[in-house]
């Protein structure tokens, strides 16, 4: 069941009615039932994989907790628990790797051995990727790592833990929650509150606007050019690349708004996953604003462990002794940065474009770190105030364009296509007027105008938020007619200007099967 299907609003409404009617002690049971009903709508076979993750991680956590509670030696307990944790990670990430990456690996191995005239013909797996497998695998494994690190004690109830793994608003595309933030909320009683219903509904409407009016309309132009890139010029490539950056942001953040809004209507507050990333002034800052829950997961469970390892310590000592200066100090962070962003790229999908996308981000961030003294010297010699408005705008534009070209690597049909589009995007010559070239990219004049107006609304709201205004409380302070004008404007925009397919269903989320 998709958030943008005609059945989901009815499903959510039914869950909300029952949620606030059942006795307090049954609220979490209702959520668990609704979550599995939602998940089963995608197919019975999908249940197998989420049950394996839920059961193995739960009992692995309980086992580690038992070892900690009964062992007389903390060192011995840590040693045993490390083996349990390793087994949990290998099992659950093994399932994820097998289902999501095996076919890609097998195809590339066949091609590699074919170069040496060996016919390997590795069998391929013909299976639909389970819904949200990357999200619930990362979320459950993070819980297990936290138990190992003594961050909190293991959950004692398997059904309550199952709810944490399968909570239906976030199962489609996250955010990746931490147990100490979400777990207690799922257990707690939530009385009916008008503010939760109102704020949650507002956030969902905004998410639907971003998804159906902006992302799905932009997707028409993007697909037209990227899927048939040989028939367009450099100017059209550049417009399509920028439009894709907007599409993926509106699509993913719109879906997260729907997720957080649905949960908020039940009194449950999920972690923020986007903080206006296209206002970042550096790529490093961009990743602190984009898909925050994934970036934080990688930081806590990949980057920091590698950075704080003995090997990184030795590299740091060697760097300070033989290289000195900025590079010598930063050297221990280069490898963790490279590994972290390579994994982020691979997380996004099975393909060389995604792997190169990870390399690209790692390289840009490392080069930025290495060139920090050079940038500082340039600003000093050119007498540029670091906090000036002009310098900030330059940083925003530069970072946005860097990310536009990076995202092209993961969206194009293949790497040669991506490199062709990137190379030609610097040359804007072509036949016809600008308007004729724009309307030849899949959107006619009215739809193109509507897209630009919707993006302008999105941008204006983002600027207001970036300046520190919380839109929903600010809107609540307005007169009742003003509030309802805004609500009706959003609803009418979605109903009339949303992009629909057969059966009045919107297209699926880009991140749905991640």
Q: Is the dihedral of CA 263, 268, 272, 273 positive or negative?
A: negative
Give tens-digit pLDDT for 223-247: 999 998 888 999 999 999 999 999 9
Structure pTM?
0.90
Angle between helices 216-226 and 445-466 (to 10 degrees): 120
Give tens-digit pLDDT for 305-339: 998 888 877 877 777 776 776 677 778 888 899 99
At CB < 8 A and 24+ separation, what contacts does 329-333 make?
Answer: 330/369, 330/370, 332/307, 333/307, 333/369
Residues 442 and 438: their CA atoms lie apart, in Å, by 8
| Residue 490 tokens, joined | 């959003």
Give tens-digit pLDDT for 393-424: 999 999 999 999 999 999 998 889 999 999 99
Q: Is the pLDDT of residue 293 over 90?
A: yes
Cis upstream peptide for 175 (omega within 30°): yes
Give tens-digit pLDDT for 21-65: 999 999 999 999 999 999 888 777 788 899 999 999 999 999 999
For residues 154-175, average pLDDT:
94
| Residue 513 tokens, joined | 């099967």
Residues 363 and 158: their CA atoms lie apart, in Å, by 43
Q: How far is CA 280 from the centre of its chain?
A: 17
Per-position DSSP letters for 94-113, written without gaps between them: HHHHHHHHHHHHHHHHHHHH
- Give yes or no for a contact between 454 and 209, defined as CB atoms under 8 angstroms apart: yes
Give tens-digit pLDDT for 111-163: 766 656 566 666 777 777 888 899 999 999 999 999 999 999 999 999 999 99
Give tens-digit pLDDT for 194-207: 999 999 999 999 99
Burial of 178 (0-12, 13-18, 19+ CB in 10 A): buried
Q: How far is CA 514 from the centre of its chain?
A: 9
| Residue 394 tokens, joined | 């330059």
Q: How far is CA 350 from the centre of its chain?
A: 16
Give tens-digit pLDDT for 83-93: 999 999 999 99
Buried residues in 259-293 as b, exposed as e (16+ CB within 10 A): bbbbbbbbbbebbebbebbbbbbbbebbbebbbbb
């Amino acid at each position: 069941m998709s958030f943008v299907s005609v059945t989901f609003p009815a499903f959510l409404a039914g869950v909300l009615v029952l949620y606030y009617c059942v006795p307090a002690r049954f609220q979490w049971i209702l959520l668990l039932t609704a979550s599995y009903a939602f998940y089963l709508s995608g197919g019975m076979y999908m249940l197998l994989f989420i049950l394996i993750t839920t059961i193995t991680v739960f009992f692995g956590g309980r086992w580690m907790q038992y070892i900690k509670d009964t062992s007389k030696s903390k060192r011995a307990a840590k040693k045993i628990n490390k083996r349990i944790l390793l087994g949990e990670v290998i099992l659950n990430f093994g399932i994820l790797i097998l289902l999501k990456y095996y076919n890609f690996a097998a195809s590339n191995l066949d091609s590699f051995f074919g170069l040496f005239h060996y016919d390997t013909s590795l069998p391929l797996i013909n299976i639909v990727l389970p819904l949200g497998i990357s999200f619930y695998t990362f979320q459950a494994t993070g819980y297990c790592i936290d138990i190992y690190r003594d961050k909190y004690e293991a959950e004692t109830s398997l059904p309550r833990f199952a709810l944490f793994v399968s909570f239906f608003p976030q199962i489609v595309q996250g955010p990746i929650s931490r147990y100490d933030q979400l777990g207690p909320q799922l257990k707690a009683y939530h009385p009916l509150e008008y503010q939760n219903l109102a704020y949650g509904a507002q956030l969902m409407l905004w998410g639907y606007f971003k998804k159906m009016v902006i992302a799905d309309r932009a997707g028409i132009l993007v697909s037209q050019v990227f899927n048939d890139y040989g028939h367009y010029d450099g100017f059209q490539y550049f417009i399509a690349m920028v439009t894709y950056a907007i599409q993926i942001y509106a699509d993913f953040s719109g879906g997260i708004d729907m997720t957080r809004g649905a949960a908020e209507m039940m009194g449950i507050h999920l972690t923020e996953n986007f903080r206006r990333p296209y206002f970042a002034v550096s790529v490093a800052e961009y990743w602190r604003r984009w898909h925050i829950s994934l970036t934080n997961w990688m930081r806590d469970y990949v980057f920091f462990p590698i950075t704080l390892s003995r090997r990184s310590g030795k590299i740091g000592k060697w760097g300070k002794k033989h290289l000195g200066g900025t590079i010598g100090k930063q050297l221990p962070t280069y490898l963790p940065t490279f590994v972290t962003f390579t994994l982020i790229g691979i997380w996004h999908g099975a393909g060389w474009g995604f792997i190169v996308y990870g390399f690209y981000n790692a390289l840009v961030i490392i080069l930025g770190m290495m060139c920090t003294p050079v940038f500082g010297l340039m600003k000093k010699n050119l007498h540029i105030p670091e906090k000036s408005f002009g310098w900030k705008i330059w940083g925003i534009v530069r970072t946005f364009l860097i990310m536009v070209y990076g995202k092209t690597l993961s969206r194009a049909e293949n790497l040669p296509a991506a490199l062709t589009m990137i190379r030609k995007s610097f040359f804007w010559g072509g036949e016809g007027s600008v308007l004729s070239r724009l309307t030849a990219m899949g959107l006619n004049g009215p739809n193109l105008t509507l897209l630009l107006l919707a993006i302008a609304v999105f941008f204006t709201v983002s600027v207001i938020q970036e300046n520190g205004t919380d839109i929903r409380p600010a809107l609540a302070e307005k007169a009742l007619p003003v509030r309802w004008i805004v609500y009706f404007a959003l609803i009418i925009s979605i109903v009339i200007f949303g992009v629909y397919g057969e059966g009045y269903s919107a297209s699926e989320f880009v991140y749905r099967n991640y």
